[in-house]
Amino acid sequence: MIQYASIILIMLGLYGLLTNRNVIKIIISLNVFEIGLNLFIISVGYVDGGLAPILTGNSTSVLSFVDPLPHALVLTSIVIGVGTTALGLAFAKKIYAKYGTYEIDEMGVE
Amino acid sequence: MNPVLLIAIPLLFAFLSIMNKKFARPLLLVALLLDVYLVFTISKGLYSIGGFSQYGINLLVDQYSLIGLMVVNVVFFLTVVTNCKEVKRLSTVLLVALAGVNGLLLTNDLFNLFVFLEIVGISAYLITSGNKRPLATFNYLVQGTVGSGLYLLGLILLYSMTGTLNMALILPTIVDKAIPLSNLALPFMLMFIGLGVEAKLLPFNSWVKGVLQNANALTSVLIAGVFATTIALTFGRLLSTVFVLGSISNIVLVILAVTMLAGEVAAFASKRIREVLLFSAIAQSGLIILLFANGLVIPAIMLIIANIVSKYILFTITGKMVDGTKTDEIESLQGVFSKNKLVGFAFTVASLSVIGLPLFFGFIVKLNILTSLFSQYQLFLSALILVVSLIEGTYFVKLLIKLWYSVGEVKTFKVDALVKVVTLIFALGLIVFGVYTKPLTDSLMTVPEEMMEAIAERGNF
């Protein structure tokens, strides 16, 4: 179920990217896209009724653990997402300094 | 020597250069020299980081990645040396870029590849921000981020099917688990699109024009030479050892063929020298990926080497020329080479080699490509490449005639002695390898087998 939700989020993000003509809104759409992606990655490791993958003394089957690798991957991907968002905002600031607007249509460039 | 040093040293120096801004440029040069030295001394093999064997990240050094590392590191070094003035502000970014480039060539893990793709991407956005065209850079950032996001989506789908991220283990697992080809179409298509953004393939490459149109010598050589080569080699490894194209191979071939044709036609129609070169670069990258998609690894690597050398010459000279004359309209640049004969000679050799005239390295490459395509009975592709070469020949010869023969007043520009020497050496290299190719073909001979060896042995585990 969570996978459908995350795919809807990814699609919403892409829709926003394609339809918005405002630099800040584009960055927000990019973030929605990335959040959908990250949720999708986590959902891959999901096991119904699974346990946290920590070795304890109790005898539990390995199969009842959730997959920890997607969690590790998503951590990296979130950090990268934050980096690109920050960089995008820095460029947005530069764009505003040069054109005095965030609307791409009002900038008078191709 | 462990190849991880190729990635770790630049990253460490990047960190140090932030604390000591004064030493940033010396640190960059030292890191580049160390990397060039390391590339020529590391031994082949599979190195697992942290001793986790197939569960962790592996770095693979085989003939393929060695050739890539040598070419890319040497050209990176020369680019930085010949553009010392522009480098100053960008030293830290270039150090990070160097780490990313080496990582992309070495890594044997799909997720690690994504991380390096983002590192190279972010440093590329920062390098292009020097063009004073923030909107073009922003456009590049958005497209690059969405592209690597799609790559990540494809890779996670692949992971949920195969349970591994190790590039050497993907194909054997697909065979073992008998995963149907129709299930694999989606992840591979997503990964193809994701890499296609950085590799400048046609529907995903609208950032290229904005970024390279106003680029100086440093930016254009790095983006169109060093980064393009790295991405092409990474793409090549994925296409030859990981991807199972199956039902989507026709779509892929159409995308690549159209990229090539449209690139050359756009170059033919351009009136500005940097536009001509950037569209020609798009067409070349389409051709390179096309060769990899058809399994022609050796001609593809030869083309990549020819491409990075000629792109270095063409973009460096053009960058310096535009800096000196303040214009890049071909009409107003008429006859510039009549005052700068040495530079003009290097430029001419590089462009004739790109066209593929005999005596130059490009001819050997084109010959190799066509004979291997004919031996596969790929008549349509061979015809397409011949047509494309014809268009290429027309606009490059037209460009050269304009640049050599003057009508009226001739603009002049100054070029450092170092740039002259380096471009001339590269130009002579193109001629030498055009006549005497044996050492190169010998060292390329074993590449395809070695690439397959890692898969056959399942990464030596």
Please state the ipTM of this predicted complex: 0.94
Measured CA to CA, the distance from residue B379 to residue B373 in angstroms comes to 7
Whether the predicted pLDDT of B461 surpasses 50: no
Query: With bands split at pLDDT 50, 70 and 90, how would you rate the model's confidence at B246?
Result: confident
Residue whose C-alpha is closest to residue B257's, from B203, B311, B194: B203
Q: Does A44 touch chain B (CB under 8 A)?
A: yes
Whether the predicted pLDDT of A85 surpasses 90: yes
Note whether A88 contacts B142, CB cutoff 8 Å: yes
Chain B residues in contact with A40 (beta carbon < 8 A): 153, 156
Chain B residues in contact with A99 (beta carbon < 8 A): 135
Dihedral over Cα of B130, B136, B141, B143: its sign: negative
CATH topology of domain A6-45+66-104: Helix Hairpins (1.10.287)
Whether the predicted pLDDT of B238 surpasses 80: yes
Note whether B138 contacts A23, CB cutoff 8 Å: yes
Kindly report the nearest CA distance between residue A20 and chain B, in angstroms: 12
Structure tokens that stand for B31 in this block: 């890191």
Note whether A87 contacts B141, CB cutoff 8 Å: yes
Mean pLDDT, chain B, integer: 88
Query: With bands split at pLDDT 50, 70 and 90, how would you rate the model's confidence at B76?
Result: very high
Q: Does A109 touch chain B (CB under 8 A)?
A: yes
Query: What is the DSSP track for B404-447?
Result: HS--S--------HHHHHHHHHHHHHHHHHHH--HHHHHHHTTH
CB-CB contact of B355 with B389 (8 Å): yes
Query: With bands split at pLDDT 50, 70 and 90, how would you rate the model's confidence at B331?
Result: confident
User: pLDDT tens digits for A90-99?
Assistant: 999 999 998 8
Note whether B138 contacts A98, CB cutoff 8 Å: no
The interface residues of chain A toward chain B in range 20-39, judged by CB-CB distance below 8 A, are: 23, 26, 30, 33-34, 37
Query: Taking each helix axis from N to C terminus, what angle separates B297-325 and B361-375, rounded to the nearest 10 degrees?
Result: 140
Query: With bands split at pLDDT 50, 70 and 90, how would you rate the model's confidence at A26?
Result: very high
Note whether B115 contacts A76, CB cutoff 8 Å: yes
Query: With bands split at pLDDT 50, 70 and 90, how would you rate the model's confidence at B453?
Result: confident
Contacts of B86 (CB under 8 A, 6+ apart): B130, B216, B217, B218
Residue whose C-alpha is closest to residue B136's, from B207, B35, B38: B207
Q: What is the mean pLDDT of residues B311-332?
A: 86
Inter-CA distances, B14 with A86, B31, B32, B81, Å: 19, 9, 12, 18
Measured CA to CA, the distance from residue B381 to residue B365 in angstroms comes to 16
Chain A residues in contact with B153 (beta carbon < 8 A): 10, 37, 40
CB-CB contact of B447 with B298 (8 Å): yes
Q: What is the pLDDT of residue B326?
A: 81
Q: Does A41 touch chain B (CB under 8 A)?
A: yes
Per DSSP, helices labelled H in chain A are 2-19, 23-44, 69-99
